[in-house]
Amino acid sequence: MIFEFKCNELPINIFSDLASEFPVYIYWSADKQVLLYSTSVTELFDDERIPKPLKVSDEGISFLLQSGVVPPPNTGYQNIYILGIGDTAKVATVNGKIEVIFEHKFPFMNTNRLQADEIKPNADLILQMLAEATINRIDKSKPSFLFQSMGKDSNTIALALAEAGWQDRVTLITHKSKGSADESEISKKIAKQLGFKHQILYEVDHLQASHKLAIKEYFIKAPFPCMDNVSALYPLYLEQLPELKQSNIIDGGGNDSYMITPPTKRELRTISLSRLISQLSFMRKFINSESIFNPLLRTPSEWYAMAGLSLKDANKIFPNNQSVYPHWSRESNLRNKLDIFYSKTDIYSSITIAEVHIRKARNFADSIGSNLILPFANQKLAEYFNKLSETYLFNRKQLKNKIILREILKNRIGLDSDKLGKMGWVYSRRSVILQNWNEIMIETQACKLWHQVDLLKILNRMQNRINGKDWGAIASCQYISRIYLISCWYNHNKYLA
């Protein structure tokens, strides 16, 4: 459903639900005469009142290049905005024009929580609410799949569905990574233990014609650019599992905001120093992206899973580039005196998690007409966890979070998350780049955003670095992928055509 605010109507506040299970997407015309909003981005973009093609935002592309994410409410498009966790749009008519003031206030602060002896977590209730949050969103006429890792989130959802008796109606699927990072066998054992069907999805190194077509179809239909490193590989799963199209896709994302994401030991060491070193922002104009000095110049906010090209390289590649330093410096200063546990969680969950990791899943679901379900982002569940004491959510000394989920999984199915450690879906980015270099060059050279002479120099420079084992090699792989992803989106997306 699409809503419209008209000139001279009473002022309104627009915001998403608490954990942003359903972000609100806004179109606010350049002449400030039209404002449309909806929780469905595809319905909004397809509305005839929005002129097509949409226009690219120079600021948005600048953030994608240098940070890997566009901080909401802004997006990669002009006149398109997103309201996520803690965001509000105050809309009113001023002198015959629609004016919008965007505000952000993180809703999951410690001041909202009860004491440990006032409310204790109830494992049965948590699993029941989690099952209901999933089942109530499932379209029973379609097959259902849960993206499963060996992690806490997806397996807690699997446990909840198992206890609700849904084993025969949901299939668990896991990506098989190469090397020690592979978690598919452990995931398979958990699925079998809980009584679910399980399917392993395999990496594709060398892209065949069918893979290239699937990737192109994805970029045609995916609403937003997304810099998650595996976003372009998601469409390759369709060849192995065609039933994913127009299905129910269940994802474990959505609880990092209210369960709080502790800083890492490295972040604790570097944040204070970063406040000083980041003042040397002028150096961003002089260093290569893969230089070790590039990450050292980050502001404190940028340490939370943000990385990108140096200002020097971004300026050369993208003629309309803008420095992102003023924005992140301002954000860091706003949080300078806040508890680092909450300041990190605010930045990390409402920007990086929401618009990189979860956006990857949203884009994939939208591109194949599937119904994405994020049980942990459910309003009722978020309200419940927001009342719990820190004691049950994270440990300040050990820098661990999701304490209650760890306990539930260990007690119910013997899954010891502390012993296993944290793993994720990974793939050999270097191998994919080297084996598909011609395809990368075709896409990037066809993209009219870039200054091609400098682009070619920078890509070749980075390609020469990726065979190494140092930080510069890893960074080069990431930034080549970054430029490729933006190029594919710009070249093929139907909303820009």
Tokens, residue 18: 């608490």
What are the start-end ranges of the E strands in 304-383? 371-373
pTM of this structure = 0.95
Q: Backbone dihedral region of 369: left (phi > 0), alpha (psi from -120 to 50 degrees) or beta? A: left
- Residue keyed to tokens 């369960």: 259
Asked whether residue 379 is assigned to any structural domain, the reply reads no
Work out whether strand 400-401 and strand 394-395 pair parallel, antiparallel, or are unpaired: antiparallel
Q: Which residues contact 269 (CB under 8 A, 6 or more apart)?
A: none
Q: Cα 306 to chain center, whole Å?
A: 11
Asked whether residue 450 is assigned to any structural domain, the reply reads no
Contact 153, 376 (CB under 8 A): yes
Rg (the chain; Cα; Å): 22
**Among residues 64, 435, 442, which one has the least CA distance to residue 216?**
442
Contact 57, 495 (CB under 8 A): no
Q: Which residues contact 19 (CB under 8 A, 6 or more apart)?
A: 85, 254, 255, 257, 258, 376, 377, 378, 379, 381, 382
Asked whether residue 56 is assigned to any structural domain, the reply reads yes
Residue 71 sits in a domain whose CATH number is 3.60.20.10
Asked whether residue 232 is assigned to any structural domain, the reply reads no
Asked whether residue 482 is assigned to any structural domain, the reply reads no
pLDDT value for 426: 58
Contact 53, 75 (CB under 8 A): no
How many domains, the chain?
A: 1
Range of the domain at 11: 3-104
pLDDT digit of tens for each residue in the chain (497 aa)?
Answer: 999 999 999 999 999 999 999 999 999 999 999 999 999 999 999 999 999 999 999 999 999 999 999 999 999 999 999 999 999 999 999 999 999 999 999 999 988 899 988 999 999 999 999 999 999 999 999 999 999 988 899 999 999 999 999 999 999 999 877 655 667 888 889 999 999 999 999 888 778 888 889 999 999 999 999 999 888 888 999 989 999 999 999 999 999 999 999 999 999 988 888 888 888 888 899 999 999 999 889 999 999 999 999 999 999 999 999 999 999 999 998 887 789 999 999 999 999 999 999 999 999 999 999 999 999 999 999 999 999 999 999 999 999 999 999 999 999 999 887 776 665 555 667 888 888 899 999 999 999 999 999 999 999 999 999 988 888 999 999 999 999 999 999 999 999 98
How far apart are alpha carbons 38 and 36 in whole angstroms? 7
Contact 306, 67 (CB under 8 A): yes
Q: Backbone dihedral region of 281: left (phi > 0), alpha (psi from -120 to 50 degrees) or beta? A: alpha
Contact 402, 394 (CB under 8 A): yes
How far apart are alpha carbons 456 and 270 in whole angstroms? 34
Asked whether residue 74 is assigned to any structural domain, the reply reads yes
pLDDT value for 178: 67
How far apart are alpha carbons 57 and 77 in whole angstroms? 5
pLDDT value for 275: 82
Asked whether residue 19 is assigned to any structural domain, the reply reads yes
Contact 71, 356 (CB under 8 A): no
CB atoms within 10 A of CB 110: 11
pLDDT value for 423: 55
Asked whether residue 348 is assigned to any structural domain, the reply reads no
